[in-house]
Amino acid sequence: MGVSGYGGGELARILARHPHAELVYVASGTYAGKPLASAFPSLYGTPAGNLVCQKGDLAECAAIADVVFLAQESGAAMELASAILDAGKKVIDLSADFRLTNPDVYQKWYKMPHTAPGLLKAKAVYGLSEWNKDAIQKASLIANPGCYPTATALALAPLLKENMVEPTGIIVDAKSGVSGAGRAKNDLLYKYAEANESVKPYGLGGIHRHTPEIEQTLSVICGTEITLSFTPHLVPMTRGILATCYARLTNPKMSVEAIADVFAKTYADCPFVVLRPIGDFPATKDTLGSNYCHIGVAVDTRTGVVTVVSAIDNLVKGAAGQAVQNMNLMFGLNETSGLEAGGIYP
Amino acid sequence: MGVSGYGGGELARILARHPHAELVYVASGTYAGKPLASAFPSLYGTPAGNLVCQKGDLAECAAIADVVFLAQESGAAMELASAILDAGKKVIDLSADFRLTNPDVYQKWYKMPHTAPGLLKAKAVYGLSEWNKDAIQKASLIANPGCYPTATALALAPLLKENMVEPTGIIVDAKSGVSGAGRAKNDLLYKYAEANESVKPYGLGGIHRHTPEIEQTLSVICGTEITLSFTPHLVPMTRGILATCYARLTNPKMSVEAIADVFAKTYADCPFVVLRPIGDFPATKDTLGSNYCHIGVAVDTRTGVVTVVSAIDNLVKGAAGQAVQNMNLMFGLNETSGLEAGGIYP
Amino acid sequence: MGVSGYGGGELARILARHPHAELVYVASGTYAGKPLASAFPSLYGTPAGNLVCQKGDLAECAAIADVVFLAQESGAAMELASAILDAGKKVIDLSADFRLTNPDVYQKWYKMPHTAPGLLKAKAVYGLSEWNKDAIQKASLIANPGCYPTATALALAPLLKENMVEPTGIIVDAKSGVSGAGRAKNDLLYKYAEANESVKPYGLGGIHRHTPEIEQTLSVICGTEITLSFTPHLVPMTRGILATCYARLTNPKMSVEAIADVFAKTYADCPFVVLRPIGDFPATKDTLGSNYCHIGVAVDTRTGVVTVVSAIDNLVKGAAGQAVQNMNLMFGLNETSGLEAGGIYP
Amino acid sequence: MGVSGYGGGELARILARHPHAELVYVASGTYAGKPLASAFPSLYGTPAGNLVCQKGDLAECAAIADVVFLAQESGAAMELASAILDAGKKVIDLSADFRLTNPDVYQKWYKMPHTAPGLLKAKAVYGLSEWNKDAIQKASLIANPGCYPTATALALAPLLKENMVEPTGIIVDAKSGVSGAGRAKNDLLYKYAEANESVKPYGLGGIHRHTPEIEQTLSVICGTEITLSFTPHLVPMTRGILATCYARLTNPKMSVEAIADVFAKTYADCPFVVLRPIGDFPATKDTLGSNYCHIGVAVDTRTGVVTVVSAIDNLVKGAAGQAVQNMNLMFGLNETSGLEAGGIYP
């Protein structure tokens, strides 16, 4: 559902080459009646490209699919999820509808009341694959994480969980490619001539919608209330998020090797987290088109600040790739099925 | 051999997910002793990324491999090919060494004598997959086509072969991303700050090395000597070639439908050639990371000029992808094995 | 009028530093009541940035200004021009309304009837500064040329006028930055994530609106009816047009030196036309932010084709800069006043 | 001296249109004997472009110039400055040679002994125009600030000076276009295909050379030793620096209006500092080609963190523009002479 957006298109691309999945139904209001390749010309010549977009009949879709991916704007999924679940099928929602556990917080940040608070409480599982694997495996309704929260939580959770850093005063300075704004928005900001050759901060002062999601995720993981400063920036590239995270070491004399060791242990069984050698730091290009999250760490011994840099492709690990990773977990498949490929370079 | 260049890296990426191939040996002078991921960080976390680059011992490589891909600068392959062939293994050369059938023409354009003219004459098969399939299937030494010649020949060959256009006065205006210059060149031209926000023509007046390759290929296909004007341009993007080809119709009243029909018939059995609907034209983005070549056609009835536009990813269909397609043909595999995926979008 | 578009903003930037001009009135529907800097943040801190945008009262504007620049969408200028002229003031129109001398041709290409055919016939002067200087100096109503026609006409006119090339079979392959589409259009095509990392042709088959303008301009200059093939491409950069023009030499043995000589003589008194040394070709970056047009020529002796490459900044020489150059001519100022600066590099 | 680098070229561009300066001598080892336009094609057609580059005879240059701009690599200026000063002429050095007041600190960071410590101590004045105006006006030797230090100091100095923020725990996350690396470096990092479509951090852990310069500058201004965390990032654009600076408010209840007020007062007489309206933040595009520094401020009341964002063009206010601003001050000219123009947009 919502296949003609960037998240939906990326799902189609990934599922099309998944060895254990078959794409049986794609829906898009804009492209209804047309082949999927008319929305994504990159699919011409492939079987996925020949699929005809449907208007989006939920019953029809739920009848033939084992899992339905919802990739629409906020507000749609909370209207649709229960019908799919009632039909005995699973749901993976790429929107924000089931991410915030408190419906009041949802209303505050997304400016609309939550219409499925029961489902939110009883069924929704936050799909940060590396940190919630057990729950995801048993879930029928996944709230797939936001792109910024994925990059940030993977970078900060290990150190917060092990009390290596102070839980206050954390700064997250994130840089995103323009596809993060989605395909439909008509804001001047996202036009080529305005976004090109420019870096621009937005959502300053803690007003970006991903702030409560990041704080909730880290608070749950480390068991204490986290409040941090999150500042996103728009960068002239199509894909990619780089999150540069700054925190004060609880022990200012901690070595970078010890920090790296915490990451190595935490993510030992996580095939999609790459810890870069000490002194080496990821660029977003290293993750282009892949589901990997690259992490690099540095310690500034003069200031006692540890810097954790994480890079992801916002449309893959930050959206569709992690959704498929969660599908793999939910259906007992190999976690990496259909996602093993490294990124495109250059 | 030469795995740390862009062509070599793309080969590693494609072969790593090929269902019937295994990457057993990678060589790079620059990265010898280091894992392949140190050359291409996008491979960290994947098996291919862990392969240690060798200095390039031909005997060792030929002993364990069934086919050796040569991805070095011009001049290297003609020194190495015979030893591999003598060991009973196949060779796919991505350089220009075996593309021009006449060694004198090679010397004229590549400023060095050809040192393996016997091999060139007796063994080398030009690997334009769509037009030379039978010969490729039986070949042991493939001259993998250049990126511009691939885009141009696929666009012009059908009309020339069917005498739909005049064989003289053809204009090819090509636009390439900067990766086409390779990874090693230090020319100011390829630095970010110089190439960005700029379009620049080069090789004007028929002096680009791909001119004789294009002319040779089209002359062979259509059975008459072709001389055309080829002008490449450097465009601020990483990957992609767009070839806009202009030719005079032999019958100026020919409809665009008739032209499209020729393409449809010619490429009916070619899984990687996509003919776009009439009135729709490819962008290079439509082929990013894929082995597909997209073609669109237009007729200007006022001038009797037919325009054929072809788009490829210069590193895939224009290099490593076509090399793997040729490997598939040489080893009796499905032509599309490991290459079926559509491109990345956006 | 229409100051908040890209053409209008560039006019403001240029006039703000013009030694003999003063910007006294700026109008924009979108930004009415706000300072000009809110539309163009690059003007914060400058006097022009503090000017408050007006809704656009023609009488008020005409009362205080000596010349009114119209920088709106097609269709607006033909409604406004006569009132300004009646008030005894001059008009420079950056839209297409007064470019095509035949109102029927205008209606065919711009899909609306021309509502000021009298003015078009009696007053409008085509403002290609280098080729129409005498008429411009005496004019009260200037039809400022389109960006593609400026680049193309400057490249082809000298050779056509001197009969150095055949008037048939000419191919113009043009590449434009995305700002050429204007600031207001909401087409998916112009969004960052779609336009970036891609080259895309459009308007193929002779259907781009600038085709009749180019043909009319060259026909007038060389005294014979010209029909040519014009194909524009969208390139991932903000500014710049490169026109690569191909024509058959009337004498295929003509030397490139002789060709260059024609250009040198034709443009001897044209301060904004730069003829590059033989063997050197312009990139669009060479003209970024400046009013210069750079031209390079090549001869392919094998095919008898001459290639002329011209580069301009589409918003300066292709719009606002040429408009100011025409203003200088109309008011007896030095042609280069306010426009002498070279481009920004890199 | 060193005119063919990006800093030198930008000096030529700015001085060429300066109403009270004349460019009389340009030197470049690489382009000696050639016109300046061969190094910067954007200057073809302009008087500056016709200037022939000299090898760099210091005596000859000092004889005819009133002020010599040194725009070479580190290490050159400390060898050349005294001769120019001895000839009674002024020096503005764009390298790092005279920025750090302690020669030992210089040696530590620039890996070579300082060979003119006497000059450094007795004559060198740090040319941060807005904060050192009096000393600059009397100086004969200016150490023109680095690009990152300029953006950072303008953002942080007002709040530190007024004790609005804690002097510890400050985080500076800076993003720079690729031209900041200079024109000569051959690192893979700066090639188009590697830098494009990627954000990459570098110099992490406090090891970037601009760290001591930033700390020294802020320490002098606020009268207390400042140690901060500075992390630069390479962003895919040609020009521009955005510095996002995070500091803890001494009074966490401080309003954003009060913070903005401090900036407004501090920079009341600084024509090149633009304080953006509250809630509005600068993009680097807003400063493209201009000498302005745009500043925006935000307060996160939940965390007590103030964020100050500053944007400059790294080659103008971050190099050549500030050098000319300093020249204006040294020679008693209007501070804004030749620099008033707003940036190019888009």
Tens digit of pLDDT for each residue in D5-30?
Answer: 999 999 999 999 999 999 999 999 99
Contacting residues for B111 by C-beta, under 8 A, at least 6 apart: none
Q: What is the DSSP letter of B316?
A: I
Question: How far is residue D58's CA from residue D80's CA, in Å, rounded to a whole number?
Answer: 8
In this complex, is the C-beta atom of C178 within 8 Å of any C-beta atom belonging to chain A? Answer: yes
Dump pLDDT digits (tens) for C208-240: 999 999 999 999 999 999 999 999 999 999 999
Put simply, the answer to whether A240 touches D197 (Cβ < 8 Å) is yes
- The number of beta carbons lying within 10 Å of the beta carbon of residue D301 is 14
For the segment A241-266, the average pLDDT, to the nearest whole number, is 98
Q: What per-residue confidence (pLDDT) applies to D317?
A: 98
Q: Pick C231's closest partner by Cβ from B200, B244, B256.
A: B244
Would an 8 Å CB–CB cutoff place A41 in contact with chain C? no
CA distance A11 to A66: 15
DSSP for D263-324, written as a single string: HHHHTTT-TTEEEPPTT----GGGGTTSS-EEEEEEEETTTTEEEEEEEE-TTIIIIIHHHH
Residue B190 banded pLDDT, cuts 50, 70, 90? very high
Which residue in B186, B195, B238 is closest to D197 by CB distance? B238
pTM > 0.95: yes
Nearest Cα of chain C lies from the Cα of B193 at a distance, in angstroms, of 6
The CA-based angle A14-A16-A21, given to 5 degrees, is 95
For residue C288, give the nearest of B213, A279, B115, B197 by alpha carbon: B197
Kindly state whether C289 is in contact with chain D, defined as any CB-CB distance less than 8 angstroms.
yes
CATH number of C147-314: 3.30.360.10
Average pLDDT over residues B326-334: 98
> Which residues between 118 and 137 in chain A have a beta carbon less than 8 angstroms from any beta carbon of chain B?
none
Pair A317, A311: CB distance under 8 Å: no
* B187 contact D CB<8A: no
Residue C22 phi, psi (nearest 5): -130, 135
Q: Which residues of C touch A177 (CB under 8 A)?
A: 193
Taking an 8 Å cut-off on Cβ atoms, the answer to whether C343 and D42 are in contact is yes
Q: Return d(Cα B213, Cα B100) in angstroms, integer.
A: 6
Catalytic residue flag (residue B147): yes
**DSSP β-ladder status, C141-143 and A293-300:** unpaired
Residue C126 confidence (pLDDT): 98
Asked if B193 lies within 8 A of D178 by C-beta distance, the reply is: yes
* Candidates C53, C147, C245, C293; catalytic one: C147
pLDDT above 90 as % of chain C: 99
Q: What percent of chain B has pLDDT over 90?
A: 99
Q: Is B193 on the interface with D (CB under 8 A)?
A: yes
Q: Which residues of B touch A271 (CB under 8 A)?
A: 45
**Pair C318, C10: CB distance under 8 Å:** no
User: A287 and B45 in contact by Cβ < 8 A?
Assistant: no
Contact A205 D229 (CB under 8 A): no
As a whole number of Å, the end-to-end CA separation of chain A is 32
> B244 and C227: CB-CB below 8 Å?
no
- What residue has token string 């009916």? B268
Element spanning D37, H or E: helix D36-39
Q: D320-343: string of b/e by CB count within 10 Å (b at 16+)?
A: bbbbbbbbbbbeebebbbbbbbbb
User: Which residue of chain B comes nearest to C173, CA vs CA?
Assistant: B173
CA of C10: which chain D residue's CA is closest?
Answer: D345
Q: What is the mean pLDDT of residues C168-181?
A: 97
| pLDDT value of position D274 | 98
The two structure tokens encoding residue B101: 């059938």
SS3 for B230? Answer: strand
Tokens of B123: 């063994």
Q: CA torsion, points D289, D197, D192, C238, in degrees to nearest 10?
A: -40
Closest chain D residue to the Cα of C36, Cα to Cα: D342
pLDDT surpasses 90 at B69: yes
Helix (H) / strand (E) containing A121: helix A117-122
Pairing of strands A171-176, A200-201: unpaired
Q: For residue C276, name the pLDDT band (cuts at 50, 70, 90).
A: very high
- Going by pLDDT thresholds of 50, 70 and 90, the confidence category of residue B224 is very high
In the predicted model, is pLDDT for residue A185 greater than 90?
no
Residue ranges of domains in chain D: 6-122, 147-314
How sure is the predictor about C186, in pLDDT bands with cuts at 50, 70 and 90? Answer: confident
Beta strands in chain C (DSSP E): 67-70, 90-93, 124-126, 141-143, 171-176, 200-201, 229-234, 241-248, 273-275, 293-300, 305-312
Q: Is the pLDDT confidence value at A260 over 90?
A: yes
Q: Cβ of A201 and D300 within 8 Å?
A: no
- Which chain C residues touch D283 with a CB distance below 8 Å? 41
In the C/D pair of chains, how many CB contacts fall below 8 A?
113
Across the interface, whether the CB atoms of D196 and B6 are under 8 A apart is answered no
C315-335 residue pLDDT tens? 999 999 999 999 999 999 999
Closest CA–CA distance from residue A45 to any residue of chain B (Å): 6
The beta-strand segments (E) located in B144-250 are 171-176, 200-201, 229-234, 241-248
DSSP 3-state of B302: coil
* Residue A117, token pair as written in the block: 């608070």
Quickly tell me which residue has 């720079």 as its tokens.
Answer: D176
Q: How many other β-carbons are positioned within 10 Å of the β-carbon of residue C46?
A: 25
pLDDT at residue A219, rounded to an integer: 98
Residue count of chain C: 346
Backbone angles phi, psi at C133, to 5 degrees: -60, -45
For chain B, the chains sharing at least 3 beta-carbon pairs closer than 8 angstroms are A, C, D
Distance CA C148, CA C154 (A): 10
Query: What would the pLDDT profile of C18-72 be if each residue is shown by its tens digit?
Result: 999 999 999 999 999 999 999 999 999 999 999 999 999 999 999 999 999 999 9
pLDDT at A324 over 90: yes
Beta strands A200-201 and C293-300: pairing type?
A: unpaired
Rounded Cα gap, residues A124 and A98, in angstroms: 6
C44, two tokens: 């914060």
Establish if D239 touches chain C: CB-CB under 8 angstroms.
Answer: yes
Contact list in A for residue B282 (CB cut-off 8 A) is 41
> Mean pLDDT over all residues of chain A?
97
Q: Are A30 and A5 in contact (CB under 8 A)?
A: no
Pairwise CB contact (< 8 Å): D193 & B236 = no
d(CA C53, CA C30): 9
Residue of B42, B192, B194 best to disrupt the D interface, most CBs of D under 10 A: B192
Point out the residue among C289, C342, C346 whose CB comes nearest to the CB of D46: C342
Q: Which residues sit opposite C270 in a β-bridge?
A: none
Q: Closest by alpha carbon to C2, among C70, C81, C83, C48? A: C70
Catalytic residue among A147, A222, A245, A293: A147
Strand residues in A144-292 grouped as ranges (E): 171-176, 200-201, 229-234, 241-248, 273-275
Whether C180 contacts chain B with CB within 8 A: no
DSSP string, B48-115: HHHSBPB---HHHHHHH-SEEEE-S-TTSHHHHHHHHHHTT-EEEE-SSTTT-S-HHHHHHHHSS--S
Q: In what order do the strands lie in the sheet with B67-70?
A: B67-70, B90-93, B141-143, B124-126
Give CATH superfamily name and number for B147-313: Dihydrodipicolinate Reductase; domain 2 (3.30.360.10)
Q: What's the mean pLDDT when you consider all of chain B?
A: 97
The reply to whether B38 touches chain D by the CB within 8 Å rule is no
Is residue D285 within 8 angstroms of chain A, CB to CB? yes
Nearest C-alpha of chain A: how many angstroms from D51? 30
Calpha distance A242→A312 (Å, rounded): 7
pLDDT tens for each residue of A87-138: 999 999 999 999 999 999 999 999 999 999 999 999 999 999 999 999 999 9
Distance between CA atoms of B286 and C198, rounded to whole angstroms? 8
Cis peptide before D103 (omega within 30 of 0): no
The predicted structure's pLDDT at residue B186: 87
Tell me what pLDDT residue A209 has. 95
Neighbours of chain D (3+ CB pairs under 8 A): A, B, C
Q: Looking at domain A6-122, what is its CATH homologous superfamily? A: NAD(P)-binding Rossmann-like Domain (3.40.50.720)
A-D interface: how many C-beta pairs under 8 angstroms? Answer: 170
D246 touches chain A (CB under 8 A): yes
Query: Dihedral angle at the C-alpha atoms of C70, C72, C78, C79, nearest 10 degrees?
Result: -100
Catalytic residue among B53, B61, B147, B293: B147
- Per-residue model confidence (pLDDT) at position D77: 97
Confidence of residue D179 (pLDDT cuts 50, 70, 90): very high
Which chain C residues contact residue A183 at CB under 8 A?
188, 191, 193
Instruction: List CB contacts (< 8 A) between B181 and chain D.
Output: 193
* B–C CB contacts, 8 A cutoff, strictly below: 172
D227 touches C: beta carbon within 8 Å: no
**Contact between chains at B292 and A9 (C-beta distance less than 8 A):** no
Using pLDDT thresholds of 50, 70 and 90, give the confidence band for residue A42.
Answer: very high
Give kind and range of the element (H or E) at residue B258: helix B256-266
* pLDDT score at C134: 98
Closest partner residue to D190 among B179, B181, B192, by Cβ?
B192
Q: Report residue C192: phi and psi, to 5°.
A: -55, -50
**Averaged pLDDT, B133-137:** 98
- Structure confidence by residue, pLDDT tens digits, A274-319: 999 999 999 999 999 999 999 999 999 999 999 999 999 999 999 9
**Encoded amino acid at B296, one letter:** G
For D197-215, what is the mean pLDDT? Answer: 96
Q: Please report the pLDDT score of residue D46 as a whole number.
A: 95
Q: Which residues of C touch D17 (CB under 8 A)?
A: 340-341
Query: What pLDDT score was predicted for residue A186?
Result: 87
As given in the structure block, the two tokens for residue B105 are: 């023409």
pLDDT reading at C179 higher than 90: yes
Q: Which of A199, A255, A297 should be substituted to probe chain D, the one whose Cβ sees the most D Cβ atoms within 10 Å?
A: A199
Partner-chain contact B46 A340, CB within 8 Å:
yes
| Tokens 């139904």 belong to residue | A25
Assign C183 a pLDDT band (cuts: 50, 70, 90). very high
pLDDT at C185 over 90: no
What's the average model confidence in pLDDT over B322-333? 98
**d(CA D102, nearest CA chain A) in Å:** 19
Cβ contact (<8 Å) for A169 and D169? yes
Segments in C234-320 forming alpha helices (H): 256-266
Query: CB contact, 8 Å: C260 with chain B?
Result: no
